[in-house]
Structure 1
Amino acid sequence: MDSWVRLSAQSQAKDRLFRTAQYACTLLGYTLAKGGAGGELLAKVKQLEGHLSLGRKLLRLGNSTDALEAAKRAVHLSDGVLRLCITVAHLNRAMYFACDNVLWAGRTGLLPKLDQDKWSQRSFRYYLFALILSLTRDAYEISLLMERESRAGGGAGKISGGSLPSSFQENGELLPNAVTTERAPLLGPLSALVHRRLLLLVTVLRANPPLTLDLLKNLLDIFIPLDRLGLYRTGPGFVGACGLTSSILGLLTMVYPWLKLKP
């Protein structure tokens, strides 16, 4: 089992590198097309992108097993919301990887009669569900940390060593002269509440780099299945930029494991 874990970790690192190169090609192809590059060059970039995608699918053979094992571990989490979100997200990833494995077999000729468009759409649906659940988990953890910070009384008063504007006290309340000073046109009960919540959000995100990184990565990634499924068209340039950025963020969690969100 230890050998399998080590092999899986190496495959995941290579997959991240292939993913980074793949979306770099997507963005490069879009940029070249906008710049009026020749068809031969665009065809080569597109071909390289296809080879990288196929290589990633090969590296992910067996990843469904890892996702199922992660789901089994998540079942034992004490928090009910986290248990539900993480477990179901891993199950969707397992199905996503399984569909990807079938696609790999189709594109290599092992399953010549496979309807690749159908399986690709199915794969991206599972990927989208997994991302939605991951974002739900991120939002839930942020809300818990904001509530804890608010009760502690320090979240609205400081932001990682910085200080609030003079119109606010340490507990986030408005000073009597706040309406007539810095934010007079905007302040009121609602705007003051929104401002305090934003300060809490910034505090929580700056104090929890793994959570911030996971949130950014999921927000960027979700545009990929939305575009591929036709639910929200953004175009290859935007998809390439999102995929490239999220891949780089993913590589950071491989280089610096403490940045990976747990559990």
Structure 2
Amino acid sequence: MSTNPDLATQIIKFGGQANGRDKLFRLIQYGSKLVWWHLHNNARGPEMVQKLKKLESSLSMTRKLLRMGKSLDFIMAALKSVHIKDTALRLTITMSKLNQACFLLFDHIIYAHNVGLINTDKKKWSEISARFWVVSLILNLARNAYDLMNIIQEELRQRQSREAKHGQQVNGDSNHNRTTYSQDTNIVVKIIMQNKPVVLDLVKNLADLVLPLSTLGKVNASAGTQGFLGLISSAAGMATVWDSSLKLVP
């Protein structure tokens, strides 16, 4: 049986990237969490539940190790983003990168504690790390909202320009509401199809937001909910590594 050379090359390329491996491990980590939660709730396979919990924990530790030193990468990215001309993008992206750097820096402390290098208050550092993660995600969502606002405004301007060009006018007939609804729906679909990076990033950030909020006790999300949302955000993250055209820039 022959293998598609393009697919094989893409798989090798994906696996060769540290970011790709991290996203894959994250997908399996949260998938394990979702499965053991489901088994536990249905009082099935207690041994399998324990195995999946160990797998989840091991993958979490592996990812912390793989991210070691990545806080410096985010600091460098923040220094580059200060040159973005658009003020809103410059502020949201730069501050988000700095908060991500802090989030990972404190995450390193948790890893050092878990492997026995230091003895510290894990719960305290987990909450501090989660706070920086929350701020980073809120800034990302603000950037997503700003991008979508600009995209919608541009689409509406183009729509008005087309209507003016064709001399279309609202005539108040009974079909107008249905026509307007159809046009609005078409605009939403068009925005999603033509701006996949923005929509994908928005979905990822919304799904991720619940995770640190759960750590901080701000929301009461079950292990199953966390696992499901983690799966969604991980899949979105994997998509951007697999296909670079889906990655939001700058």
Q: State TM-score, norm by structure 1.
A: 0.81
The counterpart of 2:130, out of the listed 124, 128, 138, is: 124
In structure 2, the residue matched to 1:103 is 110
Distance 2:210 2:226 in 1: 7
Cα 1:182/1:233, change in 2 over 3 Å: farther
Relative CO higher for 1 or 2, CA cutoff 8 Å, sep ≥ 6? 2
SS at the partner of 1:153? Answer: helix
Correspondences of 1:179-218 after superposition (within 5 Å): 181=175, 200-218=187-205
Distance (Å, rounded) in 1 between the aligned partners of 2:58 and 2:223? 17
- 1:164 is aligned to none
Shift of the 218–171 alpha-carbon distance from structure 1 to 2, 3 Å rule, reads farther
Separation of aligned partners in 2, 1:255 and 1:18: 14
Please show how residues 76-87 of structure 1 align to structure 2 within 5 Å.
Answer: 76-87=83-94
Matched, 1:134 2:143: no
Matched, 1:250 2:237: yes
Match of 1:219 in 2: 206
One-letter amino acid of the counterpart of residue 249, structure 1: A
The structure carrying a bigger helix percent of its residues is 2
C-alpha contact 1:106 1:116 (8 A) present in aligned 2: yes
Q: Which residue in 2 is equivalent to 1:39?
A: 46
> Percent identical across equivalent pairs?
35
Which string of whole-angstrom CA distances, capped at 9 and with x for unpartnered residues, describes residues 143-172 of structure 1? 011111111226998xxxxxxxxxxxx899
Give the TM-score of the pair, scaled to structure 2: 0.85
* Alignment partner of 1:177 is 2:173: yes
2: CA distance, partners of 1:240 / 1:182: 45
User: Partners of 1:22 and 1:90 in 2: how far apart?
Assistant: 24
Corresponding residue of 1:237: 224
* Partner Cα separation in structure 1 for residue 92 and residue 168 of structure 2: 32
C-alpha separation in 2, matches of 1:211 and 1:238: 24
Contact 1:16 1:251 in 2 (8 A): yes
- Could you say what secondary structure the match of 2:44 adopts? coil
Q: Tell me, which stretches of 5 or more residues in structure 2 are unaligned?
A: 1-12
Q: Partner of 2:19 in structure 1?
A: 12
Aligned length: 234
Q: Which amino acid aligns with 1:58?
A: L
